[in-house]
Structure 1
Amino acid sequence: MTTHRIRVGIDVGGTFTDAVAVDATTLDLLGQVKVPTSHHHQDGVAHGIVEALDRLLDQTGHAPEDVAFLAHGTTQATNALLEGDVATVGLIGIGTGPGAALTRRLASLGKLELTPGRTLPLSYAHVADPDDPSAVSAALERVVRDGAEAVVATQPFSVDRPEGEDTVTAAAGERGLPATAAHEITSLYGLQKRTRTAVVNAAILPRMLATADLVDSSIIKAGVRAPLMVMRCDGGVMALDEMRRRPLLTVLSGPAAGVAGALMQERVSEGLFLETGGTSTDISVVRRGKVAVRHAVILGKSSYLSALDVRTVGVGGGSMIRIDGGKAVTVGPRSAHIAGLPYACFASAEDLRDAKLATVRPMEGDPADHVVLDAAGGRYALTMTCAANALGRVPEGDFARADQDVARAALAPLAAALGVDVATAAARVLDAGTAQVRTVVEQMIKDYRLDRDTAVLVGGGGGAASVTPHLAATTGQDGRIARHSEVISPIGVALALVREQVERIIPGATQEQILAVRAEAERAVTAQGAAADAVEVEVTVDPQTNTVRAVATGATELRTQDRGHRAGDAERLAAAAASLHSDPATVRVLAATPSHTVYGTEVHRRFRGTRHPVRVVDADGVVRLHVPDACVAATTAGDAPSALASLVDESTSYGDGGVRAPALRLLIGSRIADLSGVLDPGSLLALARSELGSRAADEPVVAVVEART
């Protein structure tokens, strides 16, 4: 069934703003529009966002009050840093004695290079005693005289004692200055890195605040009552007020929108997402249903910003073909878009009449080995998309689909120059282009220890067909192009979950301290509108760094929608068997809840003994969890604490590396509670009890227990 309620995702790119409407019940795509990004309008990008929204509502026949969820992703923060368009930051260091010497050294952050020859504008002032109002006022006066438009307060050990930073930022706020306390950006130790992250946040703060206010008022004026959310760089969304406090979280959020689409629409649980545009391919990882994140490098320095681990290769659908010495074929990084040339495969057969192969230097400084066609209709670039169409890699209805006969005619002069047929020439081009992508894919599979047998390659973006199908064919891995791949980013924005991460350095963390970090993350997402009953929290305790990390995610409404399709027993079994690479006759049901079915089989390997791989399949027939070797136990919420205590005790390992509890996942209701990040058995069981606390005693619970080796 469908409703009038829709979820709207808007992706603000450098050139175009894309918007989609998704049915809030079925999650089907209802409409999509594209408008030019309004950088130069008096209302900035807000104008383009509202224009896209208006067109989308008109196209789908919906009213503003039908919008149940509205979120947008933006490259504005990223572009501001790339272009050096930032505010002057007033850095107020706090402290006396040895700590003061450390803090004063932070004035060197003014040497951070934004663009070649341009450094981050920064003015430093020092306050010995933050409780001295006249000293704080004098410091603020000094940085304002130097042109500061935003203030950062920083003090050694402010993670534990934040009062000094809070006093300074409060004083700045009274003067109308946007201010950031370093401890609010991250609660991790490391004065230099913490302050550097806060300074970059402050540098983009005024510009992002102005944009946030314009977008907010424009959306309200348009009649939308749903709270506006903003895409984060870790694949989730946050409330607009949170973005006003930490705009740095939107840096690098462009690729995050695409992988969020793969995660939510394509329901990828293990694999790589390759988002291919005209010039490049962004590659990211989904492991066990979670996006892979790491601390990002910003302005050439490491930061405490947790962002999607995305690696970019300079090969896209528009990458030009190059030929060296009449034989060797290479691809990119120059694209037809930058060269100002149309793709040959999108010309007409008449346009390509009398086509002759030539090599050119697209831009000053480029090698003169880029292949073009000079034909009756003008000059055309030969690209990866041309080769993919010639080889039949682009499926019917795809955004990049061209007439295969025209594409083959475009490749014919290149094939003649190489002394091969058209299919071989096209394959050589795709081999050359995807080889660069394959190198990165192989490295990411290794880095994240993905199971090659189950990892799927999912392509997104307008150029997806030029990379993913051929890469899948040559590696033998499962691969597919995402539905509506050309708008996968705004779809990801529309479907993304509210997300918050809390990190604390807690040496010898107790169960109570770990649970407190978990509760803080849960409160943070519910405060931003996530439905409390559906929040999932993943907790990781790193004993080497004493870091306790909690990542909470949740939807802004309970997703109890009645999807149009529910998989039957046979379909779910087939999905599990395919993922397990096993005959369905050897796969059996190990346990089930109303939302999930657990399947397993046995694999006998010489010298490695018998393994018991497990797959968890949801009601839609999608594999949600892969575990290479696990035991499964069915229980109830009431009996689970004692049952889990026995299971954890039996599966805990002891060795030179210390005590290692098993990796535990619990199937509870519609959720998969991932508790695998905790190594201490007592803390693990305490977290499990917190997950079960609000459940009815007779509610079914399934434990998937993976012993660590």
Structure 2
Amino acid sequence: MTTHRIRVGIDVGGTFTDAVAVDATTLDLLGQVKVPTSHHHEDGVAHGIVEALDRLLEQTGHAPEDVAFLAHGTTQATNALLEGDVTTVGMLGIGTGAGAAFTRRLAALGKLELTPGKRFPLVYAHVPDPGDRSAVERAVDEVVRGGAQVLVATEPFSVDRPEGEDAVRKVAAERGLPMTAAHDITSLYGIQKRTRTAAVNAAILPKMFATADLVDASITKAGVTAPLMVMRCDGGVMSLDEMRRRPLLTVLSGPAAGVAGALMRERVSEGVFLETGGTSTDISVVRRGKVAVRHVPLLGRSSYLSALDVRTVGVGGGSMIRTSGGKITTVGPRSAHIAGLPYACFATAEDLAGARVATVRPLPEDAEDHVVLDAAGGRYALTLTCAANALGRVPEGDFARADREVARAAVTPLAALLGTDVDTAAGRILDAAVAQVRSVVDSMIDEYRLDKDTVLLVGGGGGAASVTPHLAATTGLQGRIAAHSEVISPIGVALALVREQIERIIPGAGQEDILAVRSEAEQAVIAQGAVADAVEVEVTVDPQTNTVRAVATGATELRTQDRAHRADDAERLRLAAASLKVPENQVDILAGTPAYTVYGTEQRRRLRGVRHPVRVVDADGVVRLHAPDARVRTTVVGSAQQTLATLVDGATAYGDGGVRAPALRLLIGSRIADLSGVLDPQPLLALARTEMEGRPGDEPVVAIVEERP
């Protein structure tokens, strides 16, 4: 069954604003448009967003009321920090005695470098007693006289006692001053890191407020009734109201949009996503169906901003080749875009007549070793895309596809200089470029302990074909280019789930504490529009840091894909066997629900004994879960608690390092409940009960249990 409803994703880049429309039922791409980003319009980037939306609706034949979901990603917060275009922050430190000493030291944040040669704009005032309203007002007046247009309030242990920061908020609201309370940004201890994160958030508040209001008003005027969502830096989306409170969460959301597209559109469960543009490649990890995130530095120091763990390599489709002594030394980081030159492979055969190799300095400070071709049609850059096309690595219909014969003609003069043939020369170019990418990919695979037998390399971005196919060929890993790779970022925005992360430091956290954090995360995404039945919550408890973390994700509508696109039994078996790397006749069906089938096999390896790897395949034929050695048990909701208690008890390890419950995942309905982040058996079983609440007693539940090493 299909509907006329669409999901719209808009990615606001530095140069262009890309927009896509995706069928809300089948998730098929229906249309895509590109317009210049309207930085200098009186309505700012909001004008470009509405222009892109208007063109998209016209192209696809839809009306504004057909839009079921609308989200946009923006580089505005990132650019503001990179360019130092922020507002002066008035920091109010709260406390007396020893606490006052901690907060007064925070004035030193104003000495940190925001951009080269520019310090973070901050003025400080102290409030000994926030209950003294006149003292708060005097402090506010002091920082405003110092140039502050936005406030931050911070107090030791405000995550437990927020009343002091809230008292400052009340005065700020009466004065019409935007403000960030440090406890609003994170509930983790560590006043310096918490305050640093809050101060950066405050510094971009006014600019982001103005943009949010313009975009909201423009979208409403255009007739769209769906709530506007904004891309977060951890791969999810949040409501516009939440963005107004925590705009910092949009920093670094550009790379997050691409990996969200790979996660949702390509349904990657274990792999590396490589988004290749003209100049660089952003590399990120998907592990067990979730993007890898970490706390990223701000102002050159650690922070509590959780963002996509992305590593950038200066190799892209437009990267220029560098030579010395008749050899290729490296590829990049300079690109044809920086040099202001067209790609040789996109010229015509006539343009390249009489081509000869020359070397240039793309920028005055660069070495004069960057290869160009001087030919009948002018000067051209010899790029990584030229080499990929010369070897036939760019598939038909790809954004970067060029005439192969023209590409080979472009590489021919360099091949002559190197004393070799075109194929060898092109291969050396790709080898030099991909070696830089491979070193990062290998380190991330090791760092995140990805299963090399199942890792999938997925390429996105307009330059995907210049990196991913050759990387897959040289590493022996599976690889593919994402469908519509050139618009993978706006697709990611269109398909992204509402996301919220709640973190608490709770020494000796019991099951009630853990369940409370879980509930808070779940309610947060529901409050932003996620459908309650579609919310999934992953809970992790770190006994070393006493951190309880809950990450909730949910769709703004129940997604029911067209059954006609789903894989049959034979196809799912074939895919499971390929993932397990065994013949189909050695694969067993271990369990199943209406949404998933569980496959397994037995492996006997010298020194490693017998292992039972498991794969969970969904109805679309996507491998959603890899388990290298697991036990599988089917039960029903009514008797699941007793079954799970027996399973967990039998697989719990007791040793010098404490109690370690097994990694448990449950298949219930259309959900995979990942409970693997909890090591204590009792909270683990309590979370399992929560996942099954309100479900019929005869509904099947599949438990997948992995003992921890």
Deviations 1:477-531 (A, max 9, x none): 0000000000000000000000000000000001011000000000000000000
Instruction: Give the aligned partner of residue 295 of structure 1.
Output: 295
Deviations 1:380-425 (A, max 9, x none): 0000000000011000000000000000000000000000100000
In structure 2, give the amino acid aligned to 1:179. Answer: M
Instruction: Give the aligned partner of residue 205 of structure 2.
Output: 205
In structure 1, give the amino acid aligned to 2:56. Answer: L
Q: Is the 8 A contact 2:328 2:429 kept in 1?
A: no
Deviations 1:125-160 (A, max 9, x none): 000110111100000001111111110000001011
**1:550 alignment partner, SS class:** strand
**1:379 equivalenced with 2:379 (yes/no):** yes
1:561 Cα deviation after fit: 3.1
**Cα distance in 1 between the residues matched to 2:29 and 2:561:** 15
Instruction: Give the aligned partner of residue 486 of structure 2.
Output: 486
1:562 Cα deviation after fit: 2.6
Q: Is the 8 A contact 1:434 1:471 kept in 2?
A: yes
Deviations 1:294-337 (A, max 9, x none): 00112211110110000000000000011111123410000000
Matches within 5 A, 1:224-373: 224-373=224-373
**Cα distance in 2 between the residues matched to 1:566 and 1:365:** 55
1:563 Cα deviation after fit: 4.1
1:362 Cα deviation after fit: 1.3
Instruction: Give the aligned partner of residue 107 of structure 2.
Output: 107
In structure 1, give the amino acid aligned to 2:4. Answer: H
**Cα distance in 1 between the residues matched to 2:116 and 2:619:** 53
**2:224 alignment partner, SS class:** coil
**Cα distance in 1 between the residues matched to 2:424 and 2:240:** 52
In structure 1, give the amino acid aligned to 2:219. Answer: I
Instruction: Give the aligned partner of residue 34 of structure 2.
Output: 34
In structure 1, give the amino acid aligned to 2:289. Answer: G
Instruction: Give the aligned partner of residue 183 of structure 1.
Output: 183
Instruction: Give the aligned partner of residue 542 of structure 1.
Output: 542
Q: Is the 8 A contact 1:498 1:525 kept in 2?
A: yes
**1:368 alignment partner, SS class:** coil
**TM-score scaled to structure 2, two decimals?**
1.00
Instruction: Give the aligned partner of residue 454 of structure 1.
Output: 454
**Cα distance in 2 between the residues matched to 1:543 and 1:42:** 52
**Cα distance in 2 between the residues matched to 1:627 and 1:643:** 20
Deviations 1:533-570 (A, max 9, x none): 11000000000000000000000001123343111110
Q: Is the 8 A contact 2:328 2:428 kept in 1?
A: no
Instruction: Give the aligned partner of residue 85 of structure 2.
Output: 85
Q: Is the 8 A contact 1:25 1:563 kept in 2?
A: no
Q: Which moved more, 1:166-175 or 1:643-652?
A: 166-175
**2:100 alignment partner, SS class:** helix
Matches within 5 A, 1:139-154: 139-154=139-154
**Cα distance in 2 between the residues matched to 1:331 and 1:379:** 19
**Cα distance in 1 between the residues matched to 2:281 and 2:381:** 19
**1:58 equivalenced with 2:67 (yes/no):** no
**1:564 alignment partner, SS class:** helix
1:173 Cα deviation after fit: 1.2
Identify unmatched segments of 5+ residues in structure 1.
none
Q: Is the 8 A contact 1:329 1:428 kept in 2?
A: no
Q: Is the 8 A contact 2:178 2:205 kept in 1?
A: yes
Q: Is the 8 A contact 2:10 2:18 kept in 1?
A: yes
Matches within 5 A, 1:669-680: 669-680=669-680
CA 1:413 to 1:526, structure 2 compared with 1: closer, same or farther past 3 Å?
same
**1:26 alignment partner, SS class:** coil
Instruction: Give the aligned partner of residue 72 of structure 1.
Output: 72
Instruction: Give the aligned partner of residue 706 of structure 1.
Output: 706
In structure 1, give the amino acid aligned to 2:578. Answer: A
In structure 2, give the amino acid aligned to 1:558. Answer: L
Deviations 1:550-593 (A, max 9, x none): 00000000112334311111000001000000100000100000
**Cα distance in 2 between the residues matched to 1:571 and 1:27:** 21
**Cα distance in 1 between the residues matched to 2:689 and 2:2:** 37
1:3 Cα deviation after fit: 1.7
Matches within 5 A, 1:571-586: 571-586=571-586
**Cα distance in 2 between the residues matched to 1:561 and 1:608:** 41
**1:35 alignment partner, SS class:** strand
**Cα distance in 1 between the residues matched to 2:170 and 2:26:** 46
Identify unmatched segments of 5+ residues in structure 2.
none
**Cα distance in 2 between the residues matched to 1:354 and 1:632:** 67
Deviations 1:614-673 (A, max 9, x none): 000000111000000000000001110000000000000111111000000000000000
Instruction: Give the aligned partner of residue 643 of structure 1.
Output: 643
**Cα distance in 1 between the residues matched to 2:16 and 2:637:** 50
Q: Matched residue pairs, number?
A: 709
Identity, in percent, stands at 81
Q: Is the 8 A contact 2:321 2:328 kept in 1?
A: no
**Cα distance in 1 between the residues matched to 2:375 and 2:235:** 45
Instruction: Give the aligned partner of residue 21 of structure 1.
Output: 21
Instruction: Give the aligned partner of residue 131 of structure 2.
Output: 131
Instruction: Give the aligned partner of residue 402 of structure 1.
Output: 402
Q: Is the 8 A contact 2:69 2:227 kept in 1?
A: yes
Instruction: Give the aligned partner of residue 7 of structure 2.
Output: 7
1:694 Cα deviation after fit: 1.3
1:52 Cα deviation after fit: 0.3
1:2 Cα deviation after fit: 2.9
Q: Is the 8 A contact 1:26 1:564 kept in 2?
A: no
Matches within 5 A, 1:550-569: 550-569=550-569
**1:558 alignment partner, SS class:** coil
**2:565 alignment partner, SS class:** coil
In structure 2, give the amino acid aligned to 1:136. Answer: V
**1:639 alignment partner, SS class:** helix
**1:479 alignment partner, SS class:** strand
Q: Is the 8 A contact 1:360 1:369 kept in 2?
A: yes
Matches within 5 A, 1:428-467: 428-467=428-467
**Cα distance in 2 between the residues matched to 1:93 and 1:42:** 37
Instruction: Give the aligned partner of residue 421 of structure 1.
Output: 421
**Cα distance in 1 between the residues matched to 2:113 and 2:395:** 45
Q: Is the 8 A contact 1:320 1:336 kept in 2?
A: yes
Matches within 5 A, 1:506-521: 506-521=506-521
**TM-score scaled to structure 1, two decimals?**
1.00
Q: Is the 8 A contact 2:212 2:244 kept in 1?
A: yes
RMSD: 0.6
